[in-house]
């Protein structure tokens, strides 16, 4: 892992790219001396001990998997904090699934491959990594795509590390994004947070991938049903879920695999 001198290895950023985040950040595209393109994520207004920065370095720095974004290094100088990642030319998943017709842009086979890649990345973080990692913010904005649309899980600012064979985590407060947060993360009434909390978030995101719409603030026209998860469940109960998502008969087999994944 590099230290603050990583900054000197950059030839200079050549353009600003937008990677959606819930935090106040700036992301620049740059190139290392060896020719590799990188995304440099600057964390502004880091308060206290900079928990988000520490979480990201400590968690993603332990990983090495095709479906998890690679951290090349970091910079830490006073209040200045930056993370250097591999550059993902196709951006984040949200810009595709929230488009007017994501199935035409990516196609069902590619959407299925993307969903499968996310699940493989999570399986690695939860079971195959030397130290188990719970991401706690799985959502389309944190799923990046490389030049071949290979899935990369990113943004580990809210992640927590688990000890070997430990499946439950103590929480001091809710974390994550509305619409994807597992019930047990929001309230202990529903149980204890664990790796299953990421699985819940993945499931909610999966609904968005298949339906091409947001789980929250989705209102079915001429209907009082506002929550997409409930809406799609009701349609599947009526055995017309795939048709409700405008899936053709030709692609029904792939789409059904995704909905049951």
Q: What is the structure's pLDDT at 17? A: 47
Q: What is the structure's pLDDT at 216? A: 62
**Residues 102 and 168 both lie in one domain:** yes
Residue that is last in its domain, among 48, 65, 86: 86
Q: How many domains is the chain built from?
A: 2
**Residues 16 and 132 both lie in one domain:** no
Comparing 61 with 234, which gets the higher pLDDT? 61
Q: What count of other Cβ atoms lies within 10 Å of the Cβ of residue 239?
A: 8
**Residues 103 and 66 both lie in one domain:** no
Distance CA 30, CA 40 (A): 7
Q: What is the structure's pLDDT at 3? A: 46
**Residues 107 and 232 both lie in one domain:** yes
**Residues 56 and 98 both lie in one domain:** no
Comparing 229 with 129, which gets the higher pLDDT? 129
Residue that is last in its domain, among 86, 110, 130: 86
**Residues 73 and 110 both lie in one domain:** no
CB 63 within 8 A of CB 129: yes
Band of residue 77 on the pLDDT scale cut at 50, 70, 90: confident
**Residues 59 and 105 both lie in one domain:** no
**Residues 70 and 118 both lie in one domain:** no
CATH number at residue 8: 3.30.200.20
Give strand pairing partners of 234: none
**Residues 151 and 214 both lie in one domain:** yes
Band of residue 221 on the pLDDT scale cut at 50, 70, 90: very low
**Residues 190 and 247 both lie in one domain:** yes
DSSP the chain: ---GGGGGGB----EE-----SS-EEEEEEEBTTS-EEEEEEE-S--TT-HHHHHHHHHHTT---TTB--EEEEEEETTEEEEEEE--TT-BTHHHHTSS-HHHHH-HHHHHHHHHHHHHHHHIIIIISSSEEE-S--SGGGEEE-TT--EEE---TT-EEE-TT--B---SS--S-TTT--HHHH-GGG---BHHHHHHHHHHHHHHHHHTS-SSS---TTSS---HHHHHHHHHHTT-HHHHTT--GGGHHHHHHHHT-
Report which of 170, 168, 171, 214 is spatially closest to residue 194, judged by C-alpha positions.
168
Enclosing domain of residue 142: 94-259
**Residues 215 and 100 both lie in one domain:** yes
Residue that is last in its domain, among 86, 103, 121: 86
Query: With b meaning 16 or more CB within 10 Å and e meaning fewer, what string describes 188-202?
Result: eeeeebbbbbbbbbb
Distance CA 229, CA 214 (A): 10
Rounded (10°) CA dihedral 194, 137, 36, 112: 90
Given a cut of 50, whether residue 199 has pLDDT beyond it is yes
CATH number at residue 150: 1.10.510.10
**Residues 139 and 169 both lie in one domain:** yes
pLDDT tens-digit map of 85-106: 999 999 999 988 887 766 567 8
Q: Which residues are catalytic?
A: 137
Tokens of 165: 């064979």
């Amino acid at each position: 892992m590099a230290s603050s001198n990583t900054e000197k290895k950059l030839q200079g950023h050549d353009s600003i790219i937008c990677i959606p985040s819930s935090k106040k950040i700036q992301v620049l595209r740059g190139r290392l001396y060896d020719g590799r393109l990188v995304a440099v994520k600057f964390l502004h207004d880091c308060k206290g001990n900079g928990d988000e920065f520490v979480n990201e370095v400590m968690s993603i720095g332990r990983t090495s998997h095709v479906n998890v974004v690679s951290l090349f290094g970091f910079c830490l100088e006073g209040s200045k904090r930056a993370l250097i990642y591999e550059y993902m030319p196709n951006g984040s998943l949200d810009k595709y699934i929230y488009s007017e017709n994501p199935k035409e842009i990516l196609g069902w086979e590619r959407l299925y491959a993307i969903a499968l890649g996310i699940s493989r990345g999570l399986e690695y973080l939860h079971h195959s990594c030397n130290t188990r990692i719970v991401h706690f913010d799985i959502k389309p904005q944190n799923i990046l795509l490389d030049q071949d649309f290979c899935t990369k899980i990113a943004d580990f600012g809210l992640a927590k590390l688990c000890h070997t064979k430990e499946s439950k985590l103590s929480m001091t407060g809710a974390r994550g994004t509305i619409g994807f947060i597992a019930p047990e993360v929001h309230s202990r009434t529903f149980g204890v947070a664990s790796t299953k909390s990421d699985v819940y978030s993945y499931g909610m995101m999966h609904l968005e991938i298949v339906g091409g719409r947001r789980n929250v603030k989705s209102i079915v026209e001429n209907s009082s049903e506002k929550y997409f998860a409930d809406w799609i469940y009701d349609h599947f109960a009526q055995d017309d879920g795939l048709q409700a998502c405008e899936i053709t008969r030709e692609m029904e087999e792939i789409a059904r695999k995704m909905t049951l994944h």
